[in-house]
Structure 1
């Protein structure tokens, strides 16, 4: 349902991030905890991936055109009693490399967003997970800016690294508060002379505990019932991060079983589509994933060695650990803190060997015991930390500040 008017809120939020409801990002998990208590304007942006002549760009372009020409202020929901943010899907120019491109986007965004932002209660705080809005800092009529750093996007192959790096550097210099989703990301920010509040990802522990022991019931996952067992399951974006050699080795080790890749497919190695006993389901509703975990014998994260992967803090890690299934992952810093609760592999061969072992042994009792601490890593706790940071930031400003005193317009 549309978010009700919140009487005398401590602050209002303007959030720049991925499209609301498109996939369960950390930012969406956090902001859901603010709905109904704070006014939230959620800005669906065009993303940072450079347009190409491929199926992914075409599909994404269709999505954005629908959003622009069939605009909706609130997301659809099966539960109409749940509060929702106000959503704006501004028209944007899909390029950022040239100064001309960035000026055009700045003007487009300011023209469309300024009236919406000015209608919010003061103080207004803008929070962004994407560097491409750096040129709005000091121009959009908000009181403060927060950069929530969730990934090292400048290292992503499908993005223009030098441009993203330049915009992120500009954003880090200009914002009031920086929040980092992982220690490696916080270290990168510290090298640029700023301190970041460390806010690791959380998890809806009860959701995974309640559903992960039930078989797959969702129609989109019904195919799991007919696949040869055992089932080795991955969920997430099936993209350049997924290592085809590791998946191939795992598929051989799991034979005659099946490796199942659950999630949207884009920019992945063509070899993944050619591997025997490897099945891709495509995207499924987030609510279906606990049932997929229940059907799995082993959960995996077969990522390649890449700087962006090394710097990342995978959102699915705590989701995996909230189930009662063995987990095998690649060796990256974010995984090592949970080395007593899962198995870490340094090569495709070791990865496949560990998967084969866990298919035979199941979850060791020591790993099961180590996972008990996952229950403390809730999104509610993470949102409470973010709320304290935002409230402290808002306290610097008076609720009765005149909108005319704030920066605005295009210069």
Structure 2
């Protein structure tokens, strides 16, 4: 089920375009959306194919009509009615007479967690939405508290989320993000990438570039190391790239397909994660951290709790120390790896193998289907 975004739309071009896309998906999915959905469904189906050759179950994607707000009891009740109706209608088509399991990463519709049609209800908490920029924090907190109280299990993706949410849930467990090790560890530089024409060293980051990125630390790092090219791969959301117009060695190259991402990242000499350290980031577990590590490139990250848990495999740098940490890492490039670094790499590879998405999926299913 594709639900509405967590942030109430504002009067700007980005939100207007997004609103048009959502409304079109309600009326009739266009060719681009349909192709993207079918491509994703095909990927999931291939991943779920059984050794015996049995036909896998294809995902059934629903885009329910919803009111673009969750503030106040009236909006909450309306969205519960709209979403619940869409869910029940979909279940009639794909699972008649069955007792489904509800898994949701969104806390905005707690009414679904009180629906007795579900045999088990799981809240998969992947972020602290109450501190997102542009979110109505008190409203989100209220809805999430209702969701926590109604769910059978809360699965947290970070230790901070587990610690803050588990006292309010009936049961909880920790399941951190995994990594597609084969996808990121064996890539070679893509000659068609725009990065292929850039001089080295290249300092890069990928993912959504939003308010959680520490722009000041990134700008200071680029200015302190003018001999390097700093590259951002990913969409820019709620930020104006113009704030970096005075940084000539910083490039924003936009989003690239996930399948092609390793070929671009293979051009990096150093991976960075300059996040602000505040309430909006303290509970997150950035997916890209383990993906960075899987590339074999050196990694410098802000000291968030989940980054600190991986401190044996990367360099932690507070905002004020970030520029110098980048400069020091660039200065030691090509100096040859000492024996202890080789041992560290062996330990890292063993750790990443244990963190595969396949292992996480097995654990996820065990937790979700427990006692059923």
TM-score normalised over the length of structure 1: 0.79
* Aligned-residue offset at 1:378: 0.6
Give CA deviations for 1:57-98 in whole Å, capped at 9, x if unaligned: 123212212311223598232895751411001111101112
Find out whether 1:371 has 2:348 as its counterpart: yes
Q: Please list, as runs of the form range in 1=range in 2, the aligned pairs for 1:39-188 lying within 5 A after superposition.
A: 43-71=1-29, 72=34, 75-77=37-39, 80=42, 83=45, 84-119=58-93, 120=95, 122-139=98-115, 141-188=117-164
Find out whether 1:323 has 2:295 as its counterpart: yes
Note the residue ranges of structure 2 that are not aligned, 5 or more in a row. 46-57
* Aligned-residue offset at 1:390: 2.2
* Aligned-residue offset at 1:296: 0.2
Give CA deviations for 1:202-227 in whole Å, capped at 9, x if unaligned: 0111111121xx11255xxx221223
Dislocated runs of 4+, deviation >6 Å: none
Residue number among 360, 364, 369 corresponding to 1:391 in the alignment? 369
| Match of residue 21 from structure 1 | none
The answer to whether the 8 A contact 2:223-2:247 is kept is no
The answer to whether the 8 A contact 2:154-2:166 is kept is no
- Note the aligned Cα RMSD (angstroms): 2.1
| Match of residue 14 from structure 1 | none
The answer to whether the 8 A contact 1:233-1:300 is kept is yes
Note the residue ranges of structure 1 that are not aligned, 5 or more in a row. 1-42, 396-411
Residue number among 281, 285, 308 corresponding to 1:313 in the alignment? 285
Q: Which has the higher contact order (CA 8 A, sep 6+)?
A: 1
Residue number among 288, 291, 295 corresponding to 2:260 in the alignment? 288
How many residue pairs align between the two structures? 346
Residue number among 218, 223, 231 corresponding to 1:252 in the alignment? 223
Q: 1:217 to 1:80 in 2, by over 3 A?
A: farther
Find out whether 1:267 has 2:243 as its counterpart: no
| Match of residue 232 from structure 1 | 203
Q: 1:327 to 1:97 in 2, by over 3 A?
A: same
* Aligned-residue offset at 1:274: 4.8
CA distance in 1 between counterparts of 2:158 and 2:132 reads: 17
Q: 1:273 to 1:199 in 2, by over 3 A?
A: farther
CA distance in 2 between counterparts of 1:54 and 1:81 reads: 34
| Match of residue 314 from structure 2 | 342
Give CA deviations for 1:164-195 in whole Å, capped at 9, x if unaligned: 10000000000111110011000011343544
Q: Please list, as runs of the form range in 1=range in 2, the aligned pairs for 1:12-27 lying within 5 A after superposition.
A: none
The answer to whether the 8 A contact 1:73-1:87 is kept is no
CA distance in 2 between counterparts of 1:239 and 1:78 reads: 25
